[in-house]
Chain A
C-alpha cells in the first residue's frame, strides 16, 4: 500500500496536461462540451463494466470446486440462479449498448445543429497552413489572413472547409470536433467559444511531411475587440515608417517573395502563400510553428527547410545585410 499510493499519484500527473489550450477535456464551447460529456459518460460506464467484470473474474478464479465433487451433478437451485444471473447480464449489456448508442446519436444532433450566425469563414487547408477568408455581404469587407482565427465570444461562427491539395482535417479540440477538408467539396462546421481565450487547433488528417506543423489558433474575444481587429485586418498594410523598413519593403518587392505572397496596398499580389498584409499582428508564423519575432522571421526566411523540411517556401538568394531590413519590415506589418 505504501508503494501503490505514490504510484497512483504519479499516474495522475499526466492529467495536468489536460488543462492546456489544445485539449478535448478543456472544453470551452457547446460542441466541445457535448463531446467532453460524452467522453466522461463513456469512460465512467465502460470503467464500471470493466471493474465489475474483473471482480467477477477474480471471484471465479478464487473459488475452487471441492476435490471429490461430481462434475456432471446438477442442482436445480444453482441452475436457476445461473439462468437468472446470465439473463440479467445479457439484459444489462443490451441496455448499456442501446443507451450509449442513443446518447451518441443525440450528441451528434447537437454537434451538427446549425444556428444562424452572423459570421462566416472560408477555411482552406493547404500543405501546410490554413488560409482563412472572412466572408461578408459587402465585397470590400472580405479579407484573407492565415493560421489565426478571431471570433467574438458567445456567438456561433460558421466555418466552410475546403482543401486545395490533399485531405486535411480542421480540429480545435477545445471548441469543436474534427471536420475534414476535402478537395472538390465544401464541408461545414460551426464553432462557438463560451469563454474568451486562445485555443490551439491542429490538422487532424495526415497530409504529408509537415502535417505535425500545421497548426492554427483561435482567439475568442469580446465583440468590441473583435470588431477592432476586423477593421484593422481589412485595412491595407501600413507603409514603412523608418528607413530600415523602407529598405526592407524594397527588398521584398524585388525578390521572389512577391511570386507567392500578398501584401495589400503594395505591388505584391501573390495568392498561393499566406497573406502577409498584417503578418506582424499574428501570434505565430509558419502555421503555429514559430512565435512572431524579428529573429524568428529572419530564421524562417533564411532557412525555411531547416524549420519545416519540405515546406513549399523556397530558400531564396539574399545578401546578409538584406535579412535584417526584410525581417524588420515584415515584423512591422501590424
Chain B
C-alpha cells in the first residue's frame, strides 16, 4: 500500500517535465504592438514621462526559444555589420550598460522598428514584428539583462567571449544618466 502511494506520488513529479512554450506563430499574427515608451526618465514638469507597456516584452525576455531565434536573426540580418558581437563598431556597443535610447526591451524594439539618427536604419515593414521582439530579447541577453535560464547557453561557432548565460547580470542605465562605466577613472 505504501509502495503504491510512493509510486503515485513520484508520478506527480512528471508534471514538472513540461518545457517552455515555443511560440512559432506570433499571436495576433502580424499586427505591430503599440507601446508608449519614454527614451529617458527625464521629462519636463514635476512628474516623470507616462509609459504604457503591453507586457509582451517580459514574455519574450523570459523565453529561451525567442532569445535563441533572436541570436540567429541578429547574424542573418547583419546587425553584427555595425554592432559587431555586441562590442560595437560603427554602431554603439550593446554589451555595456549605456543605452542612448533606453535599455528596456520596448525601447530596443522601438529603436529597431523606427531607426535612430546617425546610422541606425528603420526595419519597420522589413522585419516582421515578432522577429523584432526576438532580436530585442537577444540584445537584452548580451548584457545579461534577461533571466539566466533563458539566456543562450552556448555558441554555435567561434565567439569572442563567454556565452550569454555565463556573463554576470547587467544593469541598464537609460539615456540622460551617467552610467557606472562612465564614472570610472579614465
Contact = CB atoms under 8 A, between A and B. Distances in A.
Interface of A: 165, 183-184, 254-256, 258-260, 272, 303, 305, 309-312, 314-318
Given A309-B24, A314-B130, A256 B30 contact: no
A256 B129 CA distance: 10
Contact of A165 (B24, B30, B156): B156
A273 B73 CA distance: 12
Interface in B50-98: 72, 76-77
B161 interface: no
B112 to A, nearest CB: 13
B46 interface: no
A255 B125 contact: yes
A43 B31 CA distance: 59
Interface in B16-30: 22, 24-26, 29-30
Contacts of A258: 126
Contacts of A272: 76
B115 interface: no
B131 interface: yes
Contacts of A312: 72
A12 B66 CA distance: 49
B127 interface: yes
B128 interface: yes
Given A305-B25, A310-B22, A317 B30 contact: yes
B30 A316 contact: yes
A259 B126 contact: yes
Among B24, B29, B31, B128: residue with most chain A CB under 10 A:
B24
A260 B78 CA distance: 11
Contacts, number: 43
Contacts of B156: 165, 183
Nearest to A127: B72
3 nearest A-B pairs in the assembled complex, by CB-CB distance: A317-B30, A305-B25, A314-B128
A165 B25 CA distance: 22
Given A259-B127, A315-B26, A315-B29, 14 more contacts: A183-B157, A184-B157, A254-B125, A255-B125, A256-B128, A258-B126, A305-B25, A314-B130, A314-B131, A315-B128, A315-B130, A317-B30, A317-B128, A318-B30
Contacts of B26: 315
Interface string B126-162: 1111110000000000000000000000001100000
Nearest to A309: B24
A255 B30 CA distance: 12
A305 B24 contact: yes
B34 to A, nearest CB: 14
Contacts of B25: 303, 305, 315
A310 B127 CA distance: 17
A317 B28 CA distance: 11
A133 B76 CA distance: 19
Nearest to A316: B128
B101 to A, nearest CB: 23
A19 to B, nearest CB: 37
A254 B125 CA distance: 8
A266 B39 CA distance: 38
Contacts of A165: 156
Contact of A256 (B24, B32, B125, B157): B125
A315 B131 CA distance: 10
